[in-house]
């Protein structure tokens, strides 16, 4: 969390969603409402919506066995630039109690022939965010993505 004495302003929102691919729309609605409220421009909202879908679907597809708690906690944070010359930063974290699963470990497809075999999601995530970080903390997967942009 951003402490108040840094002088920066942060919007934050936590969403808990069951890790099922059918819950994408719910997540989109939460993201849109958060991002519009935080004043994130439409093109950045669009690109990060894609990042959220790719990450969430990846987790929902690979991080859980049957009978596991499939709750995925998604933390959305928007740090406003302190100075006019600074950039705004959006941080999106995905936390779950699933099997240790590093989405970044999945390699990109090697050739066009294998494009329909998957692996495109992580390429999109890497391209549309500035930082990606996976950690296993206290039996939880913690996957954090951040994206900087110049406020308009």
Interaction site with other proteins (CB under 8 A): 21-22, 24-25, 28, 43, 46-47, 49-50, 53-54, 57, 109, 112, 115-116, 118, 120-121, 123-124, 127-128
Q: Could you give the C-alpha distances from 101 to 53, 70, 96, in angstroms and in order?
A: 17, 13, 10
The contacts found for 106-114 with CB under 8 angstroms, 24 or more apart, are 106/58
Least distance to other proteins from the beta carbon of 149, Å?
Answer: 15
How many angstroms from the chain centroid is the CA of residue 58?
Answer: 11
Contact 95, 140 (CB under 8 A): yes
Nearest residue (CB) to other proteins, 19 versus 79 = 19
Contact 100, 53 (CB under 8 A): no
Nearest residue (CB) to other proteins, 13 versus 24 = 24
Nearest residue (CB) to other proteins, 6 versus 127 = 127
Least distance to other proteins from the beta carbon of 128, Å?
Answer: 7
């Amino acid at each position: 969390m951003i402490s108040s004495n840094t002088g920066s302003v942060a919007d934050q929102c936590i969403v808990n969603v069951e890790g099922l691919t059918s819950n994408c729309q719910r997540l989109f609605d939460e993201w849109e409402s958060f991002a519009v409220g935080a004043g994130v421009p439409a093109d950045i909202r669009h690109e990060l919506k894609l990042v959220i879908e790719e990450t969430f679907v990846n987790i929902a597809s690979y991080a859980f066995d049957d009978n596991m708690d499939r709750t995925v906690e998604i933390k959305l944070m928007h740090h406003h630039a302190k100075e006019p010359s600074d950039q705004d930063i959006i941080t999106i974290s995905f936390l779950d109690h699933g099997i240790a699963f590093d989405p970044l470990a999945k390699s990109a497809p090697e050739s066009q022939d294998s494009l329909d075999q998957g692996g495109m999601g992580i390429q999109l995530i890497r391209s549309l965010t500035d930082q990606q970080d996976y950690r296993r903390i206290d039996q939880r997967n913690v996957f954090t993505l951040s994206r900087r942009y110049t406020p308009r």
